[in-house]
Chains A and B, each alone.
Chain A
């Protein structure tokens, strides 16, 4: 289960992606006055990115082993 398996590496890559998505300067792109369906863009962005990360985690974990 452990070791530099493909799953483990994918998860680490996902972690790095998450660090990028949830940090300055990408966050700064979504601040401002714009709205999506009346909801501030930053709120939409963070929750969407969060959901994508979770979905990818599920995909990596539940996907068939290599």
Chain B
């Protein structure tokens, strides 16, 4: 027999140890040497997810539905894989905006809305109440079970509350939580000591559960296979194992998975430990796989314990929810039973402490303070120190939440198993999912949408899950369930609109999500988001793009004194802490002391975020506004700035693009213009040169004609000599004009070309023959060195002949020596024919070489002293050769003769065109 006193003493000793841990944790944190700043403690603190539900309830669930208890742990395992995207984002946002609760988060996301804050708080409190009741029920049941040691029997029905130890347990837990969580106000709402306690409790409950599991599996049975084999021999248990398959119903299985996936990020206590108490977001990494591992470990022995209990106790004599305790008790394992009791206590207290702290923060910051601050007659905005009031509100909130939990336990608790109570809460917090996840990833969600979605989902939950739980306990007429409200069949709470075939949780989840998501999306799309919504949506959804803190104060323009701000902060967190906080701010800004701190937007934002920790971000904004003499910058105005800025940005990008294009076009134009000017100059030059060239022969023709006309009695020899000159000059004139026209045609591309296969040997021989007379007259030797076999080239035969003639006659013109010789050579190269026409004449100076291919540029310093030819021949030749894809160039040295070479490309399949 264990005396009640022993159990109470043990419980208090355990709680005392928790206080020691909390004290140590806080002390280390104050000294800057945190004991919780590592991923393992973080993971263990996340395990606050495993409550009495897990510790006692899973076994109870397994005893009725086989593996049906598992989705509650598989869901979080799956969700952990998404933490990388979801939870990390929540942490980053919360750190940037000093968000301290899920109500604050959702309220902030939709434009720092008090109404939304409040609604989320109310849903959270009402939704969590059954969950708190579950813990109370578990502690109370374990306590009364232990008192009957070693008689393992089902606890009797509940007593009137003054004689009911559950009520005292609730009050004890309240006191405990108040001592833990609200000893002082901290702007960040972080509780290092508390996290250390939670982590410790997570270890205790895991060890206790594993110890009981191992004892049952190997102590009472002979390993896993023995448990299952023996269970299979019992017909009812075999049915549980086999048909129980996936909890008998895949829909239930799937909805429980979804519910627990959402719960792991949306439960207020999970938000508290995973987001608010997060020390370093890197810790999340390891938690992604360590936390599922913890869940795995705490579930391995659930089925063996459940089956063991079912086989050990006569059917119905012991509540399956207490097997974890009653099995060691029945086997007279006193210490193991006590360990199990402490483990269950850990699971329950851990949950209650964190949950009520999270809820009290919400109630205070998001529900009560906004209302109190609005009541002007309270003159709260002028009160010098509000920290006492804040603490008072929180402490009261903790008591109220626990009383509500007790109330639910008293009214409805007995009708349900632990897990069923917990699932009611899970379904309630799942209502946050659309507003929360939508708000994280969808910029279009608006305040109206979130309000309507949350309200609709909440009402459906209330109607189809919470009220029926009262009806089942007899606190509402049972006809409410069987006949629907006022006899409307379609409104039966658990068969809404005649939907049957779903269990009550899946049924509620289905209808509430339809209502919630439908309203959220529908009303969000109803109208344009307002300025505030738009701006917050950007800050939240694109949090990774914004530089962390400070982004909230971008558009603050105002003035305040440092002293005012410090006093303001002091009113919420106490003057000393405010002083410390300002000192920390000064250090972070690299300022030697508080006196040197200047009041600017950064400081105002800092103060606002500090106060946000104490009273929520929406109220904090109001409070700071009360001391900051702010030039009113309405949100619409802010929006306009943002809009204008973003539009201006877009425009300026376009403009930049345009201006770049313009610049390119300008450059092109400038180039074209330069070319035009050059051409213009060339044209002027050309015209003046042409006129000059034309005038010379014309002048002599005119002069000689005048002589002939004025002197009719001129000597016949004289006359014929003059006539000869006139004829030659006319010919020269004609040639010149022809060449000018020719060149103009070539340059404008209007020339007629008649390309054909040309045999260069023929061309060169023809040209040489045509000029042989002149060469003979001037006694110049002409040398032809042409291979017998040559590929044909594609060219205009006449034009190429023109080039050859031009080069040959030039060569002749510049050969004045007695032993002059001109040689024509032809070489076949890889892809072209190269023709060289070399002379041993006077040569061309390097300066002249550079210009002789230009029009009218001639080598002027010939021995004859005047130019020969029109000065267009080489220009025309070069045009022709270029046209056929070849090159024309000169190599020369003064006094050593010149060598003009040109190439003509060979067709690719030249081999086929070899000429014999």
Residue-wise, chain B 719-738 has the 8 Å CB interface mask toward A (1 for contact) of 00000000000000000000
Q: Name the prevailing secondary structure of the A interface residues.
A: helix
Q: Please give, as numbers and ranges, the residues of chain B lying within 8 Å of A23 by CB-CB distance.
A: 250, 253-254, 257
The minimal Cβ–Cβ distance linking A4 to chain B, given in whole angstroms, is: 9
Residue-wise, chain A 42-66 has the 8 Å CB interface mask toward B (1 for contact) of 1100110011011001100110000
Residue-wise, chain B 278-310 has the 8 Å CB interface mask toward A (1 for contact) of 000110011011001100100010010000000
Q: Please give, as numbers and ranges, the residues of chain B lying within 8 Å of A51 by CB-CB distance.
A: 296
Besides A2-B88, A31-B243, 13 other A-B contacts (C-beta < 8 A): A1-B282, A12-B85, A18-B81, A23-B250, A23-B253, A27-B246, A31-B246, A32-B245, A38-B228, A39-B225, A42-B245, A54-B289, A62-B289
Residue of A11, A12, A33, A62 with highest tally of chain B CB at under 10 A:
A11
B82 interface residue, CB < 8 Å from A?
Answer: yes
B242 interface residue, CB < 8 Å from A?
Answer: yes
Q: Please give, as numbers and ranges, the residues of chain B lying within 8 Å of A15 by CB-CB distance.
A: 78-79, 81-82
Known A1-B281, A27-B246, A54-B77: A61·B67 in contact at CB below 8 Å: no
Q: Which of B81, B228, B285, B288 meets A39, CB within 8 Å? A: B228
The minimal Cβ–Cβ distance linking B408 to chain A, given in whole angstroms, is: 31
A-B contact pairs, 7 of them (CB 8 A): A2-B85, A2-B89, A8-B85, A11-B81, A27-B245, A47-B300, A54-B77
Residue-wise, chain A 9-28 has the 8 Å CB interface mask toward B (1 for contact) of 00110110011001110011
B80 interface residue, CB < 8 Å from A?
Answer: yes
Q: Residue of B at shortest CB range from A19?
A: B78
Q: Are B81 and A22 in contact (CB under 8 A)?
A: no
Which A-B residue pairs are the 8 nearest by beta carbons? A38-B225, A31-B245, A57-B289, A24-B250, A15-B81, A58-B289, A38-B229, A18-B78
The minimal Cβ–Cβ distance linking A28 to chain B, given in whole angstroms, is: 7
B241 interface residue, CB < 8 Å from A?
Answer: yes
CA of A43 to CA of B243 in the docked complex: distance in angstroms?
Answer: 12
Known A8-B85, A47-B300: A28·B228 in contact at CB below 8 Å: no
Known A1-B281, A24-B253, A39-B225: A12·B246 in contact at CB below 8 Å: no
Q: Are B88 and A1 in contact (CB under 8 A)?
A: yes
Query: Which A residues contact B (CB, under 8 angstroms)?
Result: 1-3, 7-8, 11-12, 14-15, 18-19, 22-24, 27-28, 31-33, 35, 37-40, 42-43, 46-47, 50-51, 53-54, 57-58, 61-62
Q: Are A40 and B241 in contact (CB under 8 A)?
A: yes
CA of A41 to CA of B793 in the docked complex: distance in angstroms?
Answer: 86
Question: How many pairs, one residue from A and one from B, have CB atoms within 8 Å of each other in the complex?
Answer: 112
Known A40-B228, A54-B293: A31·B242 in contact at CB below 8 Å: yes
Q: Please give, as numbers and ranges, the residues of chain B lying within 8 Å of A22 by CB-CB distance.
A: 71, 74, 78, 257
Q: Which of A11, A28, A31 meets B288, CB within 8 Å? A: A11
Residue-wise, chain B 67-111 has the 8 Å CB interface mask toward A (1 for contact) of 100110010011111101100110010000000000000000000
Q: Please give, as numbers and ranges, the residues of chain A lying within 8 Å of B242 by CB-CB distance.
A: 31-33, 40
Q: Are B246 and A24 in contact (CB under 8 A)?
A: yes
CA of A54 to CA of B281 in the docked complex: distance in angstroms?
Answer: 20
Q: Name the prevailing secondary structure of the B interface residues.
A: helix
B224 interface residue, CB < 8 Å from A?
Answer: yes
B226 interface residue, CB < 8 Å from A?
Answer: yes
Q: Please give, as numbers and ranges, the residues of chain A lying within 8 Å of B289 by CB-CB distance.
A: 54, 57-58, 61-62
CA of A47 to CA of B92 in the docked complex: distance in angstroms?
Answer: 33
Q: Are B246 and A61 in contact (CB under 8 A)?
A: no
Q: Please give, as numbers and ranges, the residues of chain A lying within 8 Å of B288 by CB-CB distance.
A: 11, 57, 61
CA of A54 to CA of B70 in the docked complex: distance in angstroms?
Answer: 15
The minimal Cβ–Cβ distance linking A24 to chain B, given in whole angstroms, is: 4
The minimal Cβ–Cβ distance linking A1 to chain B, given in whole angstroms, is: 7
Q: Residue of A at shortest CB range from B88?
A: A2
Q: Are B303 and A43 in contact (CB under 8 A)?
A: yes
The minimal Cβ–Cβ distance linking B637 to chain A, given in whole angstroms, is: 32
B544 interface residue, CB < 8 Å from A?
Answer: yes
Q: Please give, as numbers and ranges, the residues of chain A lying within 8 Å of B544 by CB-CB distance.
A: 2-3
Q: Please give, as numbers and ranges, the residues of chain B lying within 8 Å of A24 by CB-CB distance.
A: 246, 250, 253-254
Q: Please give, as numbers and ranges, the residues of chain A lying within 8 Å of B77 by CB-CB distance.
A: 18, 50, 53-54
Q: Are B296 and A54 in contact (CB under 8 A)?
A: yes
Q: Please give, as numbers and ranges, the residues of chain A lying within 8 Å of B225 by CB-CB distance.
A: 37-39
Known A3-B544, A39-B228: A28·B82 in contact at CB below 8 Å: no
Q: Which of B36-68 contact A (CB under 8 A)?
A: 67
Q: Are A39 and B224 in contact (CB under 8 A)?
A: yes
Q: Are B285 and A35 in contact (CB under 8 A)?
A: no
Q: Residue of A at shortest CB range from B254?
A: A23
CA of A37 to CA of B281 in the docked complex: distance in angstroms?
Answer: 43
Q: Are B84 and A11 in contact (CB under 8 A)?
A: yes
CA of A31 to CA of B241 in the docked complex: distance in angstroms?
Answer: 9
Q: Are A42 and B67 in contact (CB under 8 A)?
A: yes
Q: Residue of A at shortest CB range from B226?
A: A38
Q: Are A7 and B84 in contact (CB under 8 A)?
A: yes
The minimal Cβ–Cβ distance linking B254 to chain A, given in whole angstroms, is: 6
Q: Please give, as numbers and ranges, the residues of chain B lying within 8 Å of A31 by CB-CB distance.
A: 242-243, 245-246
Q: Residue of B at shortest CB range from A33?
A: B242
The minimal Cβ–Cβ distance linking B305 to chain A, given in whole angstroms, is: 14
